[in-house]
Amino acid sequence: MGRRRRRRRKIIVRRKTLPKVFTCPNCDSKTVNINVRKSEGKVVVICGSCGLQAEYEYNPIFHPVDYYNKFVDDFYEGKLPTPSKQVESRTISLEELSSEGEEEISEAEE
Ligand SMILES: [Zn+2]
């Protein structure tokens, strides 16, 4: 015993109170996230609702809102591919599920 699990320290620094979620220029939902990936040197702006997204180079002097503004500009300039709405149309037909073999087996204990 005494084997300590190495815990990965998650350092979550939250000093910014700037809004992190923005309104999408495409679908108008307030679901645009700015993912700053400093380690990769890039920033991904993505709408969680319609999937509209863009990638930018990380710039230390930029604030999330700056990427967002770029994102909106690019969108209106037609630089961003408009995502086709992915409506999940999973239709499981109930008929298929329950058409066969639904015999109730009742065990009668005597
Ligand atoms: Zn959207």
Digitized pLDDT (tens) for each residue of the chain, 110 residues in all: 566 777 777 777 666 555 679 999 999 999 999 999 999 999 999 999 999 999 999 999 999 999 999 999 999 999 998 887 555 555 556 665 555 555 566 666 66
50 in any annotated domain: yes
Ligand 1 centre and the CA of 90: distance in Å? 21
Looking at the chain, how many residues does it have?
110
Residue 26's domain comprises: 22-81
Tokens representing 52 are 């509209």
Total of domains in the chain: 1
Q: Report CA 87 to chain centroid distance, whole Å.
A: 15
93 in any annotated domain: no
100 in any annotated domain: no
pLDDT of residue 76: 96
110 in any annotated domain: no
Ligand 1 centre and the CA of 85: distance in Å? 9
Ligand 1 centre and the CA of 56: distance in Å? 17
Ligand 1 centre and the CA of 31: distance in Å? 7
Q: Where are the alpha helices (DSSP H) in the chain?
A: 64-76, 94-98
9 in any annotated domain: no
Sheet holding 42-47, edge to edge: 21-22, 32-37, 42-47, 53-57
Ligand 1 centre and the CA of 58: distance in Å? 22
pLDDT of residue 75: 97
Tokens representing 58 are 């990380």
pLDDT of residue 93: 61
| CATH number of the CATH domain containing 50 | 2.20.25.190
